[in-house]
Protein backbone atom coordinates (compact mmCIF):
# COMPACT_ATOMS: atom_id res chain seq x y z
CA UNK A 1 0.00 0.00 0.00
CA UNK A 2 1.42 3.37 -1.07
CA UNK A 3 1.43 5.93 1.74
CA UNK A 4 0.96 9.48 0.52
CA UNK A 5 2.39 12.17 2.78
CA UNK A 6 0.91 15.19 1.01
CA UNK A 7 -2.61 15.09 -0.45
CA UNK A 8 -2.71 18.63 -1.85
CA UNK A 9 0.44 20.30 -3.11
CA UNK A 10 1.41 23.51 -4.81
CA UNK A 11 4.24 23.09 -7.31
CA UNK A 12 6.27 26.24 -7.96
CA UNK A 13 8.18 26.20 -11.25
CA UNK A 14 10.50 28.93 -12.46
CA UNK A 15 10.04 30.15 -16.01
CA UNK A 16 13.71 29.32 -16.59
CA UNK A 17 12.95 25.66 -15.82
CA UNK A 18 10.72 25.50 -18.91
CA UNK A 19 13.48 26.90 -21.11
CA UNK A 20 15.74 23.88 -20.54
CA UNK A 21 19.21 24.15 -22.00
CA UNK A 22 18.22 26.80 -24.56
CA UNK A 23 17.82 29.34 -21.75
CA UNK A 24 14.91 31.16 -23.38
CA UNK A 25 11.36 30.37 -24.40
CA UNK A 26 9.75 26.96 -23.85
CA UNK A 27 11.49 23.65 -24.52
CA UNK A 28 8.81 21.10 -25.60
CA UNK A 29 10.81 18.15 -24.23
CA UNK A 30 11.13 19.79 -20.79
CA UNK A 31 7.49 20.86 -20.50
CA UNK A 32 6.23 17.46 -21.65
CA UNK A 33 8.49 15.76 -19.10
CA UNK A 34 7.07 17.90 -16.29
CA UNK A 35 3.53 17.17 -17.51
CA UNK A 36 4.26 13.43 -17.40
CA UNK A 37 5.46 13.68 -13.80
CA UNK A 38 2.38 15.69 -12.77
CA UNK A 39 0.15 13.08 -14.43
CA UNK A 40 1.82 10.30 -12.41
CA UNK A 41 1.30 12.23 -9.16
CA UNK A 42 -2.36 12.89 -10.01
CA UNK A 43 -2.77 9.14 -10.60
CA UNK A 44 -1.79 8.58 -6.94
CA UNK A 45 -4.79 10.66 -5.88
CA UNK A 46 -2.81 13.81 -5.07
CA UNK A 47 -4.36 17.21 -5.83
CA UNK A 48 -1.95 19.47 -7.71
CA UNK A 49 -1.88 23.24 -8.18
CA UNK A 50 0.90 24.94 -10.13
CA UNK A 51 2.44 28.41 -10.21
CA UNK A 52 4.92 29.17 -13.00
CA UNK A 53 7.25 32.15 -13.22
CA UNK A 54 7.85 34.11 -16.42
CA UNK A 55 11.63 34.58 -16.46
CA UNK A 56 12.09 32.53 -19.64
CA UNK A 57 10.10 35.16 -21.55
CA UNK A 58 10.40 38.43 -19.62
CA UNK A 59 11.91 39.48 -16.29
CA UNK A 60 10.19 42.54 -14.83
CA UNK A 61 12.90 43.21 -12.27
CA UNK A 62 15.65 43.10 -14.89
CA UNK A 63 13.74 45.48 -17.16
CA UNK A 64 13.05 47.94 -14.34
CA UNK A 65 16.74 47.96 -13.43
CA UNK A 66 17.41 49.17 -16.98
CA UNK A 67 15.08 52.13 -16.60
CA UNK A 68 11.63 50.75 -17.41
CA UNK A 69 8.79 51.71 -15.07
CA UNK A 70 8.64 48.96 -12.42
CA UNK A 71 4.86 48.54 -12.48
CA UNK A 72 4.75 48.27 -16.28
CA UNK A 73 7.66 45.81 -16.25
CA UNK A 74 5.94 43.68 -13.61
CA UNK A 75 2.67 43.60 -15.57
CA UNK A 76 4.62 42.39 -18.61
CA UNK A 77 6.16 39.70 -16.41
CA UNK A 78 2.68 38.64 -15.30
CA UNK A 79 1.62 38.25 -18.94
CA UNK A 80 4.69 36.07 -19.51
CA UNK A 81 3.46 33.74 -16.73
CA UNK A 82 0.11 33.45 -18.52
CA UNK A 83 1.89 32.31 -21.69
CA UNK A 84 3.81 29.69 -19.72
CA UNK A 85 0.62 28.56 -17.99
CA UNK A 86 -1.19 28.06 -21.29
CA UNK A 87 1.77 26.05 -22.60
CA UNK A 88 1.70 23.86 -19.48
CA UNK A 89 -2.06 23.41 -19.80
CA UNK A 90 -1.61 22.25 -23.39
CA UNK A 91 1.14 19.79 -22.40
CA UNK A 92 -0.98 18.34 -19.59
CA UNK A 93 -4.16 18.04 -21.63
CA UNK A 94 -2.28 16.27 -24.44
CA UNK A 95 -1.60 13.61 -21.79
CA UNK A 96 -5.23 13.42 -20.75
CA UNK A 97 -4.95 15.52 -17.57
CA UNK A 98 -7.87 17.92 -17.19
CA UNK A 99 -6.44 21.35 -16.43
CA UNK A 100 -7.71 24.83 -15.67
CA UNK A 101 -5.75 28.06 -15.91
CA UNK A 102 -6.87 30.79 -13.54
CA UNK A 103 -5.57 34.32 -13.97
CA UNK A 104 -5.25 37.04 -11.35
CA UNK A 105 -5.73 39.52 -14.22
CA UNK A 106 -9.07 39.30 -15.98
CA UNK A 107 -8.73 37.83 -19.50
CA UNK A 108 -11.89 35.85 -20.14
CA UNK A 109 -11.02 34.55 -23.59
CA UNK A 110 -8.04 32.53 -22.43
CA UNK A 111 -8.32 31.85 -18.68
CA UNK A 112 -10.79 31.69 -15.84
CA UNK A 113 -10.66 34.52 -13.33
CA UNK A 114 -9.01 33.50 -10.07
CA UNK A 115 -11.81 32.44 -7.71
CA UNK A 116 -10.63 30.58 -4.63
CA UNK A 117 -13.70 28.39 -4.17
CA UNK A 118 -13.73 27.42 -7.83
CA UNK A 119 -10.03 26.54 -7.69
CA UNK A 120 -10.62 24.27 -4.68
CA UNK A 121 -13.57 22.63 -6.46
CA UNK A 122 -11.39 21.89 -9.50
CA UNK A 123 -8.75 20.32 -7.25
CA UNK A 124 -11.37 18.17 -5.50
CA UNK A 125 -12.46 16.90 -8.92
CA UNK A 126 -8.90 15.85 -9.75
CA UNK A 127 -8.11 18.71 -12.12
CA UNK A 128 -4.76 20.49 -12.15
CA UNK A 129 -5.16 24.21 -11.48
CA UNK A 130 -2.49 26.55 -12.84
CA UNK A 131 -2.45 29.97 -11.19
CA UNK A 132 -1.16 32.62 -13.60
CA UNK A 133 -0.45 36.37 -13.58
CA UNK A 134 1.11 36.30 -10.13
CA UNK A 135 -0.97 38.04 -7.46
CA UNK A 136 -2.28 40.50 -10.04
CA UNK A 137 -0.21 43.26 -8.42
CA UNK A 138 3.15 44.75 -9.36
CA UNK A 139 6.01 44.55 -6.84
CA UNK A 140 5.08 40.98 -5.87
CA UNK A 141 7.00 37.99 -7.22
CA UNK A 142 5.59 34.67 -8.40
CA UNK A 143 7.19 33.18 -5.26
CA UNK A 144 4.88 35.36 -3.19
CA UNK A 145 1.96 34.39 -5.46
CA UNK A 146 2.80 30.72 -4.85
CA UNK A 147 2.81 31.21 -1.05
CA UNK A 148 -0.44 33.18 -1.16
CA UNK A 149 -2.30 30.69 -3.39
CA UNK A 150 -0.97 27.71 -1.42
CA UNK A 151 -2.49 29.14 1.73
CA UNK A 152 -5.75 30.10 0.07
CA UNK A 153 -6.34 26.56 -1.23
CA UNK A 154 -5.06 24.95 2.00
CA UNK A 155 -2.16 23.18 0.30
CA UNK A 156 -0.13 21.03 2.69
CA UNK A 157 3.24 21.93 1.19
CA UNK A 158 4.92 24.09 -1.45
CA UNK A 159 7.28 22.18 -3.71
CA UNK A 160 9.81 24.58 -5.15
CA UNK A 161 11.43 23.03 -8.22
CA UNK A 162 15.02 24.06 -8.92
CA UNK A 163 18.09 22.78 -10.75
CA UNK A 164 19.95 21.84 -7.54
CA UNK A 165 19.04 19.16 -5.02
CA UNK A 166 18.32 21.52 -2.15
CA UNK A 167 19.77 24.50 -0.30
CA UNK A 168 23.53 24.71 0.25
CA UNK A 169 25.70 26.86 2.51
CA UNK A 170 27.11 28.43 -0.67
CA UNK A 171 26.88 27.88 -4.43
CA UNK A 172 27.89 24.21 -4.95
CA UNK A 173 28.99 25.00 -8.52
CA UNK A 174 31.53 27.54 -7.26
CA UNK A 175 32.45 26.15 -3.85
CA UNK A 176 33.49 22.50 -3.52
CA UNK A 177 33.13 22.80 0.28
CA UNK A 178 29.46 23.78 0.05
CA UNK A 179 27.34 21.70 2.41
CA UNK A 180 23.74 20.70 1.70
CA UNK A 181 21.26 21.68 4.41
CA UNK A 182 18.52 19.06 4.72
CA UNK A 183 16.37 21.16 7.06
CA UNK A 184 16.03 24.87 7.72
CA UNK A 185 13.64 27.08 9.64
CA UNK A 186 12.07 30.07 7.90
CA UNK A 187 13.85 32.32 10.36
CA UNK A 188 17.22 30.90 9.29
CA UNK A 189 16.35 31.50 5.64
CA UNK A 190 15.48 35.13 6.39
CA UNK A 191 18.44 35.80 8.70
CA UNK A 192 21.03 34.20 6.41
CA UNK A 193 19.53 35.72 3.26
CA UNK A 194 19.43 32.31 1.56
CA UNK A 195 18.12 32.38 -1.99
CA UNK A 196 15.19 30.05 -1.35
CA UNK A 197 12.23 32.37 -1.91
CA UNK A 198 11.99 36.11 -1.51
CA UNK A 199 11.47 37.52 1.98
CA UNK A 200 7.77 38.29 1.49
CA UNK A 201 7.00 34.72 0.40
CA UNK A 202 9.13 33.26 3.20
CA UNK A 203 7.45 35.45 5.84
CA UNK A 204 4.00 34.47 4.58
CA UNK A 205 4.86 30.78 4.90
CA UNK A 206 6.38 31.30 8.34
CA UNK A 207 3.34 33.19 9.65
CA UNK A 208 1.04 30.40 8.45
CA UNK A 209 3.33 27.46 9.24
CA UNK A 210 3.33 26.16 5.66
CA UNK A 211 6.31 23.87 4.90
CA UNK A 212 8.29 24.24 1.71
CA UNK A 213 10.51 21.67 0.04
CA UNK A 214 13.25 22.78 -2.36
CA UNK A 215 14.15 19.92 -4.68
CA UNK A 216 15.83 19.08 -7.99
CA UNK A 217 13.33 19.01 -10.85
CA UNK A 218 15.84 17.69 -13.37
CA UNK A 219 15.75 14.20 -11.84
CA UNK A 220 12.84 12.06 -12.98
CA UNK A 221 10.19 11.03 -10.41
CA UNK A 222 11.33 13.54 -7.78
CA UNK A 223 7.85 15.08 -7.41
CA UNK A 224 6.42 11.62 -6.75
CA UNK A 225 9.19 10.84 -4.25
CA UNK A 226 8.48 14.02 -2.29
CA UNK A 227 4.73 13.31 -2.24
CA UNK A 228 5.43 9.81 -0.91
CA UNK A 229 7.48 11.25 1.93
CA UNK A 230 11.01 10.41 0.75
CA UNK A 231 13.64 12.76 2.13
CA UNK A 232 14.65 14.72 -0.95
CA UNK A 233 16.06 18.23 -1.14
CA UNK A 234 15.73 20.72 1.70
CA UNK A 235 12.64 21.18 3.84
CA UNK A 236 11.97 24.63 5.27
CA UNK A 237 9.53 24.66 8.15
CA UNK A 238 8.93 26.19 11.59
CA UNK A 239 10.07 29.61 12.64
CA UNK A 240 11.71 29.21 16.01
CA UNK A 241 13.99 26.24 15.41
CA UNK A 242 12.51 24.38 18.40
CA UNK A 243 9.88 22.29 16.65
What is the pLDDT, as a whole number, of residue 176? 86
Q: Name the least confident of 46-50, 74-78, 175-179.
A: 175-179
Kindly report the pTM of this predicted structure.
0.94
Domain 8-236: CATH architecture, name and number where available:
3-Layer(aba) Sandwich (3.40)
pLDDT attached to residue 84 = 98
**Cα–Cα nearest to 115, from 127, 100, 126:** 100
pLDDT digits (tens, 9 = 90+) for 208-219: 999 999 999 988
Q: Is the pLDDT of residue 196 over 60?
A: yes
| pLDDT: which is higher, 220 or 120 | 120
Q: 120: exposed, middle or buried (C-beta count within 10 Å: 0-12, 13-18, 19+)?
A: middle
CB 232 within 8 A of CB 213: yes
Chain centre distance of CA 114: 17
pLDDT at 38 over 60: yes
Whether residue 237 is predicted with pLDDT greater than 80 in this model: the reply is yes
In this predicted structure, what is the pLDDT of residue 1?
57
What residues contact 120, with CB distance under 8 A and at least 6 apart? 153, 154
Which has the minimum average pLDDT: 35-49, 136-150, 160-174? 160-174
Rg of the chain over Cα atoms, rounded to whole angstroms, equals: 17
List, for residues 50-83, the tens digit of each pLDDT value. 999 999 999 888 888 899 999 999 999 999 999 9
* pLDDT of residue 166 exceeding 60: yes
Q: Look at residue 242 and tell me whether its pLDDT is greater than 50.
A: no
Q: For residue 107, is pLDDT > 70?
A: yes
Which 8-state DSSP code applies to residue 25? S
User: What pLDDT score does 163 carry?
Assistant: 84
Task: Please determine, for residue 98, whether its predicted confidence score (pLDDT) is greater than 60.
Answer: yes
Amino acid sequence: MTTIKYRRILLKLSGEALAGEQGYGIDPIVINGIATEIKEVIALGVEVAVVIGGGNIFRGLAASSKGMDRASADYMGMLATVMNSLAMQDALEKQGVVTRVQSAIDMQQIAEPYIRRRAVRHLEKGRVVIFSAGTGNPYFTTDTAASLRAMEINAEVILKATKVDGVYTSDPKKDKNAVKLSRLTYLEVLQKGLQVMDATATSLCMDNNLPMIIFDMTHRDNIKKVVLGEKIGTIVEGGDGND
